[in-house]
Chains A and B, each alone.
Chain A
Amino acid sequence: MAKAKSIQPQAGALERAWNWLTETQIWTSVFRHDAPLNDRNRVLVMLSNVFLHLHPVRLKKHGVRLRYTWCMGGLSFFLFLVLTFTGVLLMFYYRPTLEYAYSDIVGLREHVPLGIMREMHRWGAHAMVITVWLHMFRVFMTGSYKPPREFNWNVGVIMLVLTLLLSFTGYLLPWDQLAIWAITVGSNMARATPFLGYEGPGASLLAIGDVQLIHAADDARFALLGGTFVGEGALLRFYVLHCVALPLVIGFLMAVHFWRVRKDGGISGPL
Chain B
Amino acid sequence: MEAIKGLFNLVADPRLFFLLSVVALVLIVWKREAFAKLSVGYGLMGFLTAFFLFGLFDENFVLIIAKPDNVPIVALIFLVVFFTWYSMREAVLNDQRVAAGEDVIEKQESDRVWVWPDLVYTELIALVLCSAVLVVWSIALEAPIEQPANPANTPNPSKAPWYFLGLQEMLVYFDPWLAGVVLPSLIIVGLMAIPYIDTNPKGNGYYTFNERKAEITIFLFGFVILWSSLIVLGTFLRGPNWNFFGPFEYWDVHKLEALNNVQLSEYLWVRGAGTALPDNILVREGVGILLSLAYVTVLPVLLAKTVLKRYYEKMGPTRFYVGAFLFLMMLSLPIKMFSRWLVNLKYVVSIPEWFFNI
Contacts and interface: CB of A to CB of B under 8 A. Distances in A.
B331 interface: no
A97 interface: no
A124 B107 contact: no
B318 interface: no
B150 A61 contact: no
B141 A192 contact: no
A192 B130 contact: no
Contact of B194 (A105, A153, A178, A188): A153
A243 interface: no
Q: How large is the interface on B (under 10, 10 to 19, 20 to 34, 35 or more residues)?
A: 35 or more
Contact of A143 (B103, B113, B179, B206): B206
Main SS of the interface on chain A? helix
Contacts of A174: 145
Given A59-B119, A123-B72, A145 B195 contact: yes
Interface stretch (B197-205, B288-296, B332-340): B197-205
A199 to B, nearest CB: 5
Given A57-B114, A62-B106, A70-B83, A182 B181 contact: no
A140 B219 contact: yes
Contacts of A201: 177, 354-356
Contact of B126 (A75, A136, A167): A75
Given A130-B75, A192-B175, A56 B115 contact: yes
Contacts of B138: 116, 119-120, 123
Interface in A179-237: 179-182, 184-186, 188-194, 197, 199-204, 229-231
Interface stretch (B36-44, B46-54, B151-159, B299-307): B151-159
A63 B109 CA distance: 9
B134 interface: yes
Interface string A145-188: 11101100110011011001001100100111111111011101
A21 B120 CA distance: 24
Contacts of B354: 201-202, 204
Contact of B116 (A45, A153, A189): A45
Contact of B151 (A67, A116, A176, A229): A229
Contacts of A56: 115
A191 B176 contact: yes
A179 B201 CA distance: 46
Q: Which of B134, B158, B161, B354 has the most CB of A within 10 A?
A: B161
B117 A177 contact: no
Contact of B109 (A62, A133, A271): A62
A251 interface: no
A128 to B, nearest CB: 10
B101 interface: no
Contact of B83 (A36, A46, A137, A144): A137
B325 interface: no
Contacts of A66: 122
Contact of B205 (A58, A119, A133, A142): A142
A144 B144 CA distance: 38
A256 interface: no
B119 A270 contact: no
Interface string B103-131: 11111011111111111101100110011
B142 interface: yes
B4 interface: no
B146 interface: yes
A52 interface: yes
B204 A141 contact: no
A118 interface: yes
B167 to A, nearest CB: 8
A129 interface: yes
A242 to B, nearest CB: 13
A141 B72 contact: no
A71 interface: yes
Contacts of A124: 134
A68 to B, nearest CB: 6
A184 B15 CA distance: 28
B160 interface: yes
Nearest to A163: B163
A143 B204 contact: yes
Q: Which of B91, B103, B207 has the most CB of A within 10 A?
A: B207
Q: Which of A78, A200, A201, A270 has the most CB of B within 10 A?
A: A270
Nearest to A118: B143
B143 A119 contact: yes
B285 to A, nearest CB: 13
A138 B87 contact: yes
Interface string A55-88: 1111111111111101100110011001000000
A177 B206 contact: no
A201 to B, nearest CB: 4
B241 to A, nearest CB: 14
A64 B194 CA distance: 26
B205 A144 contact: yes
B204 A59 contact: no
Contact of A200 (B112, B168, B181): B181
Contacts of B80: 134
B113 A61 contact: yes
A119 B148 CA distance: 19
6 contacts: A52-B116, A140-B216, A143-B206, A145-B198, A147-B204, A270-B204
Closest 3 CB pairs of A and B: A189-B180, A119-B138, A192-B176
Given A78-B130, A185-B168, A192-B180, 18 more contacts: A42-B115, A61-B109, A71-B122, A123-B72, A126-B72, A126-B162, A133-B223, A137-B87, A143-B212, A146-B201, A150-B195, A154-B192, A157-B192, A175-B149, A177-B149, A181-B159, A189-B179, A192-B177
